[in-house]
């Protein structure tokens, strides 16, 4: 499924997917979702993306950037559950988080 994510949503999704722990089936799903949303080296350079001290940062070019991505339905459904269960979202980014969950669930059949 195609979706558009802000740089913040994409970086947040990379962070939570990278923290997934579980059995082999869970790791395969997490890895598949992560591969779909990770920044390419070219994209990283374009926005100055870097990770320091457990935080993702980027330059002004990435602040308003919206990325069009293709994520498998199964991976998107899995990622939505991971995002919903993550307990470290900042309340100041609640709208971005809610929007991320909605995009991951959009047009996705119920389990």
Is residue 23 scored above 50 in pLDDT? yes
User: Of 30, 44, 6, 4, which Cα lies nearest the Cα of 86?
Assistant: 30
The overall average pLDDT reported for the chain is 92
What is the percent of the chain where pLDDT is above 90?
86
Q: Tell me which residue of 21, 40, 16 sits closest to 93, measured CA to CA.
A: 16
- Taking the whole predicted model, whether its pTM rises above 0.85 is answered as yes
What integer pLDDT is reported at residue 15 of this predicted model? 94
What DSSP letter does each residue of 7-37 carry, written as one string?
A: HHHHHHHHHHHHT----HHHHHHHHHHHHHH
pLDDT digits (tens, 9 = 90+) for 44-81: 999 999 988 888 999 998 888 999 999 999 999 999 99
**Predicted confidence (pLDDT) at residue 32 exceeds the cutoff of 70:** yes
């Amino acid at each position: 499924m195609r979706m558009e994510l802000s740089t913040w949503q994409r970086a947040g999704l990379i962070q939570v997917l990278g923290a997934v722990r579980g059995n082999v089936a869970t790791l395969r799903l997490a890895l598949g979702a992560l591969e779909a949303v990770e920044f390419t080296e070219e994209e990283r350079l374009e926005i100055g993306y870097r990770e320091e001290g457990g935080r993702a940062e980027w330059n002004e070019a990435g602040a308003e950037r919206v990325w069009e991505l293709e994520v498998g339905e199964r991976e998107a459904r899995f990622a939505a559950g991971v995002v919903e269960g993550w307990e470290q979202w900042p309340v100041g980014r609640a709208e971005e988080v809610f929007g991320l969950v909605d995009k991951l669930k959009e047009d996705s059949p119920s389990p």
